[in-house]
Amino acid sequence: MAGEKGLVLLDFWVSPFGQRVRIALAEKGLPYEYVEEDLMAGKSDRLLRSNPVHKKIPVLLHDGRPVNESLIILQYLEDAFPDAPALLPSDPYARAQARFWADYVDKKAQARAEMLEILKTLDGALGDKPFFGGDKFGFVDAAFAPFTAWFHSYERYGEFSLAEVAPKIAAWAKRCGERESVAKSLYSPDKVYDFIGLLKKKYGIE
């Protein structure tokens, strides 16, 4: 990795955690090199060297130095590129609230009842605002937006309607999908659903 310059993202196409980094980079207008990790075939030596503790994507290399964990990467981008458009608000309390909700998004449970409760909680947190940060697309939106491509699969497997359970989140997801940074970073819900079906078949999960 010595001698590398600029930003390099080690990622996997369908990962919502990698997609949130891609969205943040696009929102900030930061050029970077995208490196697809073929995780179905194994993990590359470059990934294992860059993230020896968790051995996971995404990894952002900045001038050859690795930054791991997607929310940490988003915060790093805020600090490392102060002249780029900010995703976090300037007010310390608002910044703390944004970090809280971004962390809450990462704690989404797999059980249907818990997932529905979490979606309802996020629906209440969003309220009547167009985005979690208010009128401006921000840190929580970038963290949560990748999961909108998975909503269709959640609905199919969980047998619920997002529009009924969390109507404000459903409307928010549509607004996010209209943003260029999000539209260019996510894959279609049907492609995500097919990928989940492939994984279920590969690992014998009913």
pLDDT of res. 205: 62
Share of the chain above pLDDT 90, in %: 85
pLDDT of res. 144: 97
Half-sphere exposure in the Cβ direction for 52 (13 Å, CA) = 1
CATH class for the region spanning 92-203: mainly alpha
Confidence category of residue 202, pLDDT binned at 50, 70, 90: confident
pLDDT of res. 199: 86
pLDDT of res. 2: 47
Higher pLDDT, 133 or 202: 133
pTM recorded for the entire structure: 0.92
pLDDT of res. 114: 87
Return mean pLDDT, the chain.
93
Where exactly are the structural domains of the chain? Answer: 7-80, 92-203
Q: What is the pLDDT of residues 7-59, one digit of tens each?
A: 999 999 999 999 999 999 999 999 999 999 999 889 999 999 999 999 999 99
Q: Is the pLDDT score of 206 beyond 60?
A: no
Q: What is the pLDDT of residues 86-131, one digit of tens each?
A: 999 999 999 999 999 999 998 775 677 888 999 999 999 999 999 9
7-80 and 92-203 agree in CATH topology:
no
Higher pLDDT, 182 or 40: 182
Share of the chain above pLDDT 70, in %: 96
Q: Which long-range contacts (CB under 8 A, 24 or more apart) does 97-104 make?
A: 98/132, 98/133, 98/138, 98/139, 98/140, 99/71, 99/75, 99/139, 101/125, 101/132, 101/140, 101/143, 102/71, 102/74, 102/139, 102/140, 102/143, 102/144, 103/71
CATH number of 7-80: 3.40.30.10
pLDDT of res. 110: 61
